[in-house]
């Protein structure tokens, strides 16, 4: 039995219970309400950096929950510019054999313009070498969520919209061992199993940037993105996935819970003889597990299940 494979020998009435053992280490975390002065820009405080000499476009403000949060956008850049990026260096090289997964968490709120001018707001991930790896775009013009990968020039639609003035919890899970990332908004998967790099860039984490992308350089909107509870953590490696039976349903269906490494993708397979294995589903663990229900277990008295790590 390899590190990437877990085999559960399950009858249709008896399950094997498994537990996921994982520990997280915080690389950087800030709630923005301690040690920051809202009289000044965020850039220059507590190690935060911006990529432009222009003033404006970033700072600290009271959010809808009554606490102090950071923002990007709102006030015109002087002199005018198309972009402003804000980041706090992380500079983390994952230990692929022990802790390959890095998670990014942030609470975000997109506030609309009082004019007809609207812009884009990004979360961009860079490696230590300064290569942009991928970007998630909250487009305030059409309220769609898009993404772009390195080595490509085309934006792709996630299939998910967002709303103004709603606070969302954004989570991005990056598995540097498998070169894959996924994103969830309020616990709903919006992007799954995408490559961290398509161009062979070094698989390190330099920073995760909040970006205001001005649609018309000379006509920026006064829209902005609030962000708070910014956190980056790394997760220890879990030796193998575990399959847990949840009990048979009255209609004969057989629910399972697959525990595994967050950010990794697992295939669930079945067999009646340990020789021939039939794929049933493939899914990504975004937290600690995902559920699968075998709706047609079949007439055989025994059926075996296994979970297998896939690229």
Q: Does residue 246 sit in the same domain as residue 132? A: no
Residue 258 clears pLDDT 50, i.e. is over it: yes
Comparing 89-103, 125-139, 170-184, the range with the smallest average pLDDT is 89-103
Q: Which residues contact 285 (CB under 8 A, 6 or more apart)?
A: 258, 259, 260, 261, 262, 263, 264, 265, 266
Tokens of 35: 């040690």
Q: Does residue 87 sit in the same domain as residue 183? A: yes
Q: Share the mean pLDDT of the chain.
A: 88
Q: Does residue 187 sit in the same domain as residue 243? A: no
The pLDDT of residue 10: 41
Q: Does residue 177 sit in the same domain as residue 51? A: yes
Q: Does residue 205 sit in the same domain as residue 76? A: yes
Residue 99 clears pLDDT 90, i.e. is over it: no
Q: Does residue 125 sit in the same domain as residue 201? A: yes
Residues in the chain, total: 311
Q: Does residue 39 sit in the same domain as residue 147? A: yes
Report residue 301's pLDDT band, with 50, 70 and 90 as the boundaries.
low
Q: Does residue 47 sit in the same domain as residue 160? A: yes
Helix, strand, coil shares of the chain, percent, nearest 5, are: 0, 50, 50
Report residue 261's pLDDT band, with 50, 70 and 90 as the boundaries.
confident
The pLDDT of residue 36: 96
Beta strands (DSSP E) in 117-166 are 120-126, 132-139, 144-149, 156-161
The total of structural domains in the chain comes to: 2
Q: Does residue 74 sit in the same domain as residue 208? A: yes
| Domain that includes residue 102, residue range | 24-235
What tens digit of pLDDT does each residue of 263-294 get? 778 899 988 888 899 999 999 887 788 999 98
- How far is the first Cα of the chain from the last one, in angstroms, to the nearest whole number? 18
Tokens of 200: 């062979």
Beta strands (DSSP E) in 34-80 are 49-50, 58-62, 68-73
Q: Looking at 212, 235, 258, which one is the last position of a domain?
A: 235
Q: Does residue 124 sit in the same domain as residue 31? A: yes
Question: Domain with 296 in it: what CATH number?
Answer: 2.60.40
Residue 13 clears pLDDT 50, i.e. is over it: no
Q: Looking at 235, 266, 283, which one is the last position of a domain?
A: 235
Question: Domain with 228 in it: what CATH number?
Answer: 2.60.120.200
The pLDDT of residue 248: 72
Tokens of 228: 């708070």
With 0-12 / 13-18 / 19 or more C-beta atoms within 10 angstroms meaning exposed / middle / buried, residue 138 is buried
Look up tokens 């009289």; give the residue.
39
Report residue 4's pLDDT band, with 50, 70 and 90 as the boundaries.
very low
Q: Does residue 264 sit in the same domain as residue 203? A: no
Summarize the confidence of residues 159-170 as an average pLDDT: 97
Between 8 and 236, the higher pLDDT residue:
236
The pLDDT of residue 23: 66
Q: Looking at 193, 220, 235, which one is the last position of a domain?
A: 235
Q: Does residue 228 sit in the same domain as residue 282? A: no
What tens digit of pLDDT does each residue of 24-54 get? 899 999 999 989 999 999 999 999 999 999 9
Residue 262 · residue 64 · CB < 8 Å: no
């Amino acid at each position: 039995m390899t590190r990437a494979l877990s085999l559960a020998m399950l009858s249709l009435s008896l399950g094997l219970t498994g537990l996921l053992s994982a520990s997280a280490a915080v690389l950087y975390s800030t709630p923005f309400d301690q040690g920051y002065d809202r009289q000044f820009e965020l850039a220059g405080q507590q190690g935060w950096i911006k990529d432009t000499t222009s003033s404006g476009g970033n700072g600290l403000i009271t959010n809808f929950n009554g606490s102090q949060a950071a923002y990007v956008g709102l006030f015109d850049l002087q002199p005018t510019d198309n972009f402003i990026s804000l980041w706090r260096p992380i500079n983390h090289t994952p230990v692929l054999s022990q802790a390959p997964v890095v998670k990014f968490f942030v609470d975000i709120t997109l506030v609309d313009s009082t004019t007809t001018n609207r812009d884009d707001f990004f979360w961009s991930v860079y490696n230590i070498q300064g290569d942009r790896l991928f970007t998630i775009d909250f487009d305030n013009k059409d309220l769609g969520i898009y993404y772009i990968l390195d080595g490509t020039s085309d934006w792709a639609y996630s299939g998910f919209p967002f709303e103004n003035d709603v606070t969302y919890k954004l989570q991005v899970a990056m598995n540097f061992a498998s070169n894959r990332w996924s994103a969830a908004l309020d616990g709903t998967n919006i992007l799954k199993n995408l490559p961290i790099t398509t161009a062979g860039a070094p698989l390190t984490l330099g920073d995760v940037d909040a970006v205001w992308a001005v649609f018309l350089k000379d006509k920026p909107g006064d829209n902005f993105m609030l962000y708070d509870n910014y956190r980056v953590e790394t997760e220890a490696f879990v030796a193998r996935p575990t399959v847990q039976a949840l009990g048979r349903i009255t209609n004969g269906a057989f629910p399972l819970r697959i525990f595994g490494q967050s950010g990794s993708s697992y295939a669930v397979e079945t067999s009646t003889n340990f020789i021939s294995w039939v794929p049933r589903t493939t899914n990504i663990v975004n937290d600690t597990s995902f559920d699968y229900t075998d709706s047609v277990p079949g007439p055989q008295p025994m059926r075996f299940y296994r979970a297998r790590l896939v690229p």
